[in-house]
Chain A
């Protein structure tokens, strides 16, 4: 076969079927339907198999991207899955939620001339097939005597647990909520990441022998110290996430009808408040909803509001769509579904009625000024541009802070924002205690959390003296890597400090 070049590959990125926007806001079914076999084979042909493979370091867990795509071209899907499984545990999840445009697809060579190869969609296809076919890439597990505790059943904890179980350890995950999954379960809605997909990928971890204890708030039921010294755990991994939502400190925040996106999404996803009163948890959503912020969390809150019957949903963001930290696809879907975007707008005050319910917002228009320390242009208020805006619900999606419980109850060294301090190998200040994911970097991404969990597992094995048959070092000689990235981690993880949206 002739060598593939930019000229002879399919020029158009293969479109993906979606539910129509009118139809989908009436249900919680998945919006992006996924590729067919034919789509998958055509899209796979678009990969040039570049010898320098820039996409591989573009992926936070260094998936051998040309490798799995080549297997797809050969129609060896099981082989493609095995290549993915070397690096990621959760391909069906990552294929759906990774911000590919900032990662693998963002550095794809094809993107210099055409639209990049749809790496995420191909990954999802193979991941979904593995679920339907029941494929597992189960290594031979040789049990050893080590007991490992994992705190938090989010992507970081799950990834660390799986690697330690594969290494033969006796692993228990302790999770505070009544269901595992972390943000995947309580935050990201069904229409973006269906529960059966989470369950299927999580079950693979359980099949490795990992135990899960829900309803266990570590730090309070027992401490990290007790896990190590009284309960017989040889090493502990902390992946408790960054859930501790920020508010802005403007007047009116305690009015009824003001809530964080985390509360809103938890009520809807974890507690199924959309089905109140047949489920017990209420929601109390108004007809006109304003969401402050424009990241993934904001997109999710807006799109859930529309599905639960809000007449109008507005997005308030003090910068422009170009600075929105959301995945491009989510922003696009939110627009299609009818979210109204108020770019360059900041709230000044939430207005209430006599019964202390929200009746509106007082806002101000902004313009972009000089770049700030993060390199983004700083929004500055335009004088005399204040206006009032009617609404009944205000949802804050302006970021999160570090959860304080583990910090309050242990001697772990924290940084000045309360996140756990670790070195590049995820070792905390306490021997035998490792940490990773959002509780170290601040709110980041699923794949970065997973990568951190796996890196921590590598360090744990080193700490426990477990010989690892699988060499996790990836091939780039210029970059020292302990599974995936270390240097790169810093580049990708936008440590999102609580956005000081406050108008100066």
Chain B
């Protein structure tokens, strides 16, 4: 269990891990996440489930190396190695209703996690418009996977090197102009992106669902560290979410709370990057 079956590097910072855990593969539903510990002294970090396969007895994570733990994962999680702990699936699964036409938006970290939703919606017979955003052409991944489950796929790149030049919100604008009958938008990505997606759909009154990613500890509702402000109420993201009505979410609050440990995160990363455990420095000559 928790063994890494496959790994794929999408870019210098983004990588995919396929993890062996048959029971979890059977239980997972779109919208859910897991908590991972890399080793006994590690922190507990939440990661959204990007895919799962009962046949392969596995689930997939797409990780961006941003801080100490995710950089350590990038370095150490090779095929055949094992994660120390995986708990999940956590959170309330997405409500996959009988919808006619849906937009699934993924940006950055959110591209992979929006995939199971697009697939599930497609399986329920919805017309799915996928909108995925990347910085440039070289960073695009899973295009084919998305094409297989989307009736339309709009790829957005910041520099215009592929697809539409612009942000995912430009993609939303285009889709909304072309289709007057959108039932719902699902948007997953960095908080700022989700905030702007909410603003893009608000004037049209289109129901918009976002998946929030606050700092977590246990993921079981026991600590309240993951609390988010939704419609003026406090919710615990790990048990009341992670999906909420985008038009009710206080994204500024989320962004503030995500900055809570910024000095500590920096300290931990720098300490690790300079330590013997980190092979970034030694390996550099081989890479180039």
Interface residues of A (CB under 8 A from B): 176-178, 186, 214-217, 220-222, 241, 243-245, 247, 249, 253-256, 259-260, 262-263, 266-267, 271-272, 276-284, 356, 396, 403-405, 408
Contact = CB atoms under 8 A, between A and B. Distances in A.
What are the 9 closest A-B residue pairs judged by CB atoms, nearest first? A243-B222, A282-B264, A263-B223, A280-B43, A260-B224, A256-B260, A245-B224, A281-B43, A356-B256
Nearest to A272: B41
A259 B257 CA distance: 11
B37 A220 contact: no
Contacts, number: 130
B234 A282 contact: no
20 contacts: A177-B87, A178-B85, A214-B85, A215-B86, A217-B220, A220-B27, A220-B88, A221-B24, A243-B222, A245-B222, A253-B227, A255-B256, A259-B223, A271-B43, A276-B268, A277-B268, A280-B41, A280-B69, A282-B264, A403-B239
A356 B254 CA distance: 12
A279 B41 contact: yes
Given A243-B222, A272-B41, A281-B43, A254 B264 contact: no
A177 B267 contact: no
Given A216-B87, A256-B256, A405-B239, A277 B220 contact: no
Nearest to A245: B224
Contacts of B122: none
A404 B27 CA distance: 19
Which interface residue of B221, B259, B263 has the most chain A CB atoms within 10 A? Answer: B221
B85 A215 contact: yes
Nearest to B24: A221
A249 B239 contact: no
Q: Which of B85, B222, B253, B263 has the most CB of A within 10 A?
A: B222
Nearest to B69: A280
B268 A243 contact: no
A349 to B, nearest CB: 15
Contacts of A254: 227, 229, 234, 253, 256-257
A105 B225 CA distance: 38
A454 B178 CA distance: 65
A280 B68 contact: yes
B77 to A, nearest CB: 15
Nearest to A217: B87
Which of A216, A222, A263 has the most C-beta atoms of chain B within 10 angstroms of its own C-beta? A263
Interface string B248-279: 00000100110111011101100100000000
B229 A244 contact: no
Contacts of A283: 264
A262 B256 contact: no
Contacts of B65: none
Interface string B219-250: 11111110101000010100110000000000
A278 B68 CA distance: 12
A254 B215 CA distance: 13
A247 B44 CA distance: 23
Given A271-B43, A408-B92, A266 B220 contact: no
Given A176-B220, A221-B27, A278 B41 contact: yes
Nearest to A241: B222
Contacts of B268: 276-277, 280, 282
A396 B68 CA distance: 29
Contact of B271 (A244, A277, A281): A277
A267 B88 CA distance: 20
Contacts of A247: 224, 227, 234
B89 interface: yes
B87 A284 contact: no
Contacts of B261: 282, 284
A184 to B, nearest CB: 14
B60 to A, nearest CB: 17
